[in-house]
A and B are shown apart, each in its own frame.
Chain A
Amino acid sequence: MQDNIFVKRRNSNLIFLSLLILFSVGSIIITQYDVLKGFTSIAKAFIWGVSNFYPDVKALRILPEILPKLLETVLMSIAATTVASVFALFLALVGSRTTRINIIFSVVSRGIASYLRNIPLVAWAMVLMLAFSQSPLTGYLALFFGSLGFLTRAFMETIDEVGNNPIEALQATGSNYFHIIFQAVLPAGMPQMISWLLFMIETNIRDATLVGVLTGTGIGFSFDLYYKRFDYHAASLVVVFIVITVIFIEFVSNNIRRVIL
């Protein structure tokens, strides 16, 4: 009887493994992924990278061009996230189970958040470019809409976590809705919400590169420019600066989180 459990486990492992192989083979065929090419290209890329993809002295001349772009990208991410979080807070208050005003608004708000969250950034970038062409405003709006959905969901979770207890207590003292929001819900949830805000900024700076490639704004545009010209030394310098920026922002965020959480 006891053998049964080992047999069962081995069988379920075998099934899992065979499904895995099935999906892998299927995917390889359908994506036309040349497995051999894939693995050899790693070696090739490594060799190429070491011999070509590094910033040299000549590349440093592009600094005055890319630094303003870098700043623009960082500011764009911060601005998009900050403004999005104001709207997200409002939507989250309406949508959360504990602070909602009425069930219909709550469902509508959750629906909007879900919808916005799942629209890919690429789609936003495409559509906004048609109306706003290649201005930094396009990049800003793409990041704004992309952040709005995620932040609403994140803030709603935070508000739910605060729980109903303090709200119940303040209701019993005769406070009105706004008192309860500003004196109980917001103070309790603020650290977690700021943490989400910082997380969104970090994510947006990375996504801004992608948006930049698509919409011709910011540092992503710079990379694309040098890449398409085959000026790999310059392109590698851009990458170096992006890495420095991202790591710096992460460092600052982590320190802020350590203090406030």
Chain B
Amino acid sequence: MALLELSDVSKYYNQAAPALDHVTFSVEEGEFVSIIGPSGAGKSTLLRCINRMVEPSSGEISVDGVLSSSLNKKKLRRLRTKIGMIFQHYNLVDRLTVIENVLHGRLGYKSTLAGILGRYSQDEKRQAFRIINILGLNEQIYKRCDQLSGGQKQRVGIARALIQNPKIILCDEPIASLDPNASKLIMDHLRNISTEMGITVVVNLHQVEIAMKYSDRIIGVNKGKVVFDGSPDELMPGQIQAIYGSEPTSEDLVAELGERHAG
């Protein structure tokens, strides 16, 4: 059974047009999948339906064999501990230090009282230090997060997701606010996580070239529909047009793609 399965998932915010239109695909364990598409295509909605931050209007989603729609609050939280998430704007508690933000990832596993008091076990703390080390944030452990650069903040976000010990990590436009150097660093980390730790990674991106460089698989979404589902090699100029429509950017992408295939 696939780690993540979406069957016929639709989402309507209003009567006019669906945000998601009968979306169906599955993701195997350990895959690195990129979701690409123009703004407003439904990528964010899609990602958030997976951990039920947004409720799908119809269809079924199963994560690790568990159907997410039938879960009550308590079971939903347990499911969410298996799903890590990182955000475009990092979503950290800026006033707190790196180590405190990273440990927040363990809150889903804790009782109410332990979580309120911030009681973390020695193992959890050890894990946090190790993960911080791997992401290269040793110098910043006790720094407040509002003193960090964008790239550093996103690494804290990744650390927070990793300490959950998740099976799958969802990334909502993780590099949209970063410069090219920081972007490469983050994408390299995400790729390593997928390769070394066998964690499934699903990333929303709007840079097609980056998607093609890092992913095992690409899913193209336009107006809530899946219009492409395949490996980067299979992504032809014509398909990019289908995904992005007749926007001016798609012509540049097509040109770039043509050069790549030519060379």
Q: Are A170 and B107 touching (Cβ within 8 A)?
A: yes
User: Could you say which of B51, B81, B116, B157 has the most chain A C-beta atoms within 10 Å of its C-beta?
Assistant: B116
Query: Which residues of chain A from 164 to 199 have a CB within 8 Å of any chain B CB?
Result: 165-166, 168-176, 178-179, 182-184, 187-188, 190-191
Q: Are B95 and A182 touching (Cβ within 8 A)?
A: no
A171 to B115: give the CA distance in the assembly, Å.
13
Q: Are A166 and B115 touching (Cβ within 8 A)?
A: no
A21 to B157: give the CA distance in the assembly, Å.
61
Q: Are B77 and A188 touching (Cβ within 8 A)?
A: no
Q: Are A179 and B112 touching (Cβ within 8 A)?
A: yes
Query: Which residues of chain B from 16 to 55 have a CB within 8 Å of any chain A CB?
Result: 51, 53
A-B contacts, 16 listed (Cβ < 8 Å): A166-B91, A166-B92, A168-B53, A169-B157, A172-B80, A172-B83, A173-B107, A173-B108, A174-B78, A174-B109, A176-B112, A179-B115, A184-B93, A184-B104, A187-B96, A190-B95
Residues of B within 8 A of A182 (CB): 115-116, 118
A204 to B161: give the CA distance in the assembly, Å.
46
Q: Are A175 and B104 touching (Cβ within 8 A)?
A: yes
Residues of B within 8 A of A190 (CB): 95
Contact partner of A174 among B87, B89, B107, B160, CB < 8 A?
B107
Least CB separation from A171: chain B residue: B53
Query: Which residues of chain B from 54 to 71 have a CB within 8 Å of any chain A CB?
Result: none
With contacts A179-B116, A184-B104 taken as known, whether A173 is within 8 angstroms of B164 at the C-beta atoms is yes
Q: Are A188 and B94 touching (Cβ within 8 A)?
A: yes
A170 to B102: give the CA distance in the assembly, Å.
11
Residues of B within 8 A of A184 (CB): 93, 104
Contact partner of B115 among A169, A172, A183, CB < 8 A?
A183
CB distance from A170 to the nearest CB of B (A): 6
CB distance from B199 to the nearest CB of A (A): 15
Q: Are B107 and A172 touching (Cβ within 8 A)?
A: no
Q: Are A174 and B81 touching (Cβ within 8 A)?
A: yes
> With an 8 A cutoff between CB atoms, is B202 at the interface?
no
B residues engaging A (CB < 8 A)? 51, 53, 76-81, 83-85, 87, 89-96, 104-105, 107-110, 112, 115-116, 118, 157, 160-161, 164, 170
Q: Are B87 and A188 touching (Cβ within 8 A)?
A: no
Residues of B within 8 A of A173 (CB): 80-81, 84-85, 104-105, 107-108, 160-161, 164
Q: Are B91 and A175 touching (Cβ within 8 A)?
A: no
Q: Are A179 and B51 touching (Cβ within 8 A)?
A: no
Residues of A within 8 A of B110 (CB): 179
CB distance from A93 to the nearest CB of B (A): 14
Q: Are A179 and B107 touching (Cβ within 8 A)?
A: yes
Contact partner of A170 among B76, B104, B118, CB < 8 A?
B104
Q: Are B115 and A176 touching (Cβ within 8 A)?
A: yes
Q: Are A187 and B95 touching (Cβ within 8 A)?
A: yes
Given known contacts A172-B51, A174-B76, what 7 new A-B pairs fall within 8 Å (CB)? A165-B91, A168-B87, A172-B83, A174-B77, A174-B107, A175-B104, A183-B115
Least CB separation from A184: chain B residue: B93
CB distance from B31 to the nearest CB of A (A): 20
CB distance from B124 to the nearest CB of A (A): 13
Q: Are A171 and B92 touching (Cβ within 8 A)?
A: no
Residues of A within 8 A of B112 (CB): 176, 178-179
Residues of A within 8 A of B92 (CB): 166, 169
With contacts A168-B53, A182-B116 taken as known, whether A175 is within 8 angstroms of B107 at the C-beta atoms is yes
User: Could you say which of A171, A179, A182, A188 has the most chain B C-beta atoms within 10 Å of its C-beta?
Assistant: A179
Residues of B within 8 A of A171 (CB): 53, 80
Top 4 A-B pairs ranked by shortest CB distance? Answer: A174-B108, A174-B80, A169-B91, A172-B85
CB distance from B88 to the nearest CB of A (A): 10
CB distance from B127 to the nearest CB of A (A): 14
A58 to B109: give the CA distance in the assembly, Å.
71
Query: Which residues of chain A from 135 to 184 have a CB within 8 Å of any chain B CB?
Result: 165-166, 168-176, 178-179, 182-184
Residues of A within 8 A of B90 (CB): 165
Residues of A within 8 A of B89 (CB): 165
CB distance from A162 to the nearest CB of B (A): 8
Q: Are A183 and B118 touching (Cβ within 8 A)?
A: yes
With contacts A171-B80, A173-B107, A173-B108 taken as known, whether A165 is within 8 angstroms of B115 at the C-beta atoms is no
Least CB separation from A181: chain B residue: B116
Least CB separation from A180: chain B residue: B107
